A = this chain, B = another copy of it.
Amino acid sequence: MPAKLDRFYAVIPAGGIGSRLWPLSRADAPKFLHDLTGSGQTLLKDTWDRLAPLAGEQRVMVVTGRAHRAAVEAQLPQLADENVVLESEPRDSTAAIGLAAAILERREPGVIVGSFAADHVISGDALFQHAVAQAVAAADAGYIATIGITPTEPAVGFGYIECGDRLEVPGADDVEAVSSFVEKPDLATAKRYLAGGRHLWNAGMFIARADQLLAEIERNKPELHAGLVELAAAWDDPATRGPAVDRIWPNLEKIAIDYSVAEPAAEAGRLAVVRGHFQWDDVGDFASLAKLNTAGRSGELAILGEGARVLADASSGIVVSRSKRVISLIGVHDIVVVDTPDALLVTTSEHAQRVKAVVDALRLGGSSDVL
C-alpha cells in the first residue's frame, strides 16, 4: 500500500461517450463503463483502484452525467454521496474539474486536487503512484502540475508536452517546467520528439492546489470562474444547489482545461511536469484497443468479451463480442469486428479513426437508436 498523500483529493471526470469506440461505447454505456483490458472490471473501477489508496476512499470525487449516476454508484460502492457531482449536461473539462475544485476548496481550504480521466488504461500502479506523489509535491510548492508519459513509440494520436528546465521542488527529484503543449504531430515530428527525449505524451492529468487552479481559470476565463464559485457556494445546501445548477451550469463556457488552464499556465511558467514511466493509453479507437490487447504483437487476434464464441482462421486484429453469437473470421487481417446486439462494425485498424464519422452519419441518418 502506498502512503496516503496529505491534503490530496482525487477527482475523476467520468464523461465523454468515446464515439470512436462505437458500437461498444454508447450514450448509455460510455467508454468508462467498459472493461477494455480483460481485467474483469470497468475502466472507472480501475481508475478508482489506482487513486483510492493514494487519497483515501473518502477523498475521491467523481464528476459525471446525471444519466450515469446509478451505473457509477454500482461500480464504486465506496464512493461517498457528497463526492458525486452530477452534470445536468456536458460542459467540457474546465467546468467539470473547476466545479470539483471549487466545491473542495470551500470544504477544505488548501486542498490539493488531482484530476484523472475515468477511461484511460494504465499499468504499473507503483510507478503511477510515485508520479502522483511527485506531482502533489510540485502542487504543494505552488505549481500547477501535470504528469507526462515517457513515449515508447512515435505516436501521432496523442498531444505532447515539451519539457523545459528542471525545477527544484522539495520532496520531488524529477520535475521540469513545461515549455509548451503541442497538438498531435505528424509521424516525422513524432519521431523527432521520441529521439529528442524532451517531449512527453499529454495524458490530461492535472494536479494543483484548488485555489491555484481556480486562480488560473479566473485569469483566463473570469466569467466561467465566477459561475463555478457561485455554484460551489450553493452546492452543499440542498435548498440552493438545484436552482443554482439550473441557472448557472447551462451557461458555463464549454472549454477544455488544456486551453483554460494548462497552456496559459505553461506560457507563464507556472506549469510543472513529472515524467511518468508507467504504461498509459487513452484507448482512443479500436486500433489502440487492438494494440493494447495483443500487447502490440501484430498478426495476433485479440478477443474481448465474456463468453465470446469466436472461431478464427488466419486472422488478426480484434473482435469485441457483446452478443452471444458465434463469430467466425477467415483470412482477415488487422480486422476490427465489434458485435453488439443491435449494431455491428467491421473495419480495419487503419480506418479505426473514421468510426466517429460513421457515428455522425448514423445520427444524421435517423439511426440514433443504436448510438
Contact = CB atoms under 8 A, between A and B. Distances in A.
Interface of A: 23, 309, 311, 313-314, 324-332, 335, 337, 339-348, 350-351, 354-355, 357-358, 361-362, 365, 367, 370
Given A313-B357, A354-B330, A358-B330, A325 B344 contact: yes
B311 A361 contact: yes
Contacts of A354: 313, 330-331
B362 A348 contact: no
B325 A342 contact: yes
Contact of A345 (B328, B357, B362, B370): B328
B367 A309 contact: yes
Contacts of A344: 325-328, 337, 339, 344
A343 to B, nearest CB: 4
Contacts of A313: 354, 357-358, 361
A234 to B, nearest CB: 43
Contacts of A345: 328-330
Given A326-B362, A328-B344, 14 more contacts: A311-B362, A313-B354, A324-B342, A325-B341, A327-B344, A328-B343, A328-B358, A329-B345, A330-B358, A331-B348, A332-B335, A332-B348, A337-B344, A346-B346
A1 B302 CA distance: 58
Nearest to A337: B346
Looking at A327, A344, A350, A367, the one whose CB has the most chain B CB atoms below 10 A away is A344
Contacts of A326: 23, 342-344, 362, 367, 370
Instruction: Give chain A's interface secondary structure class.
Output: mixed
A335 B344 CA distance: 14
17 contacts: A311-B361, A311-B367, A313-B354, A324-B342, A325-B341, A325-B370, A326-B367, A328-B344, A328-B345, A328-B346, A329-B345, A330-B346, A330-B354, A330-B355, A331-B350, A331-B354, A335-B346
Interface centre among A23, A330, A335, A348 (most CB of B within 10 A): A330
Contacts of A342: 324-326
Contacts of A343: 325-328
Contacts of A314: 351
Contacts of A346: 327-330, 332, 335, 337, 346
A347 B329 contact: yes
Nearest to A354: B330
A129 to B, nearest CB: 39
Nearest to A342: B325
A228 B250 CA distance: 83
Task: In the A-B complex, list the 7 residue pairs whose CB atoms are closest, starting with the nearest.
Answer: A331-B351, A330-B347, A326-B343, A330-B351, A326-B370, A327-B344, A328-B345
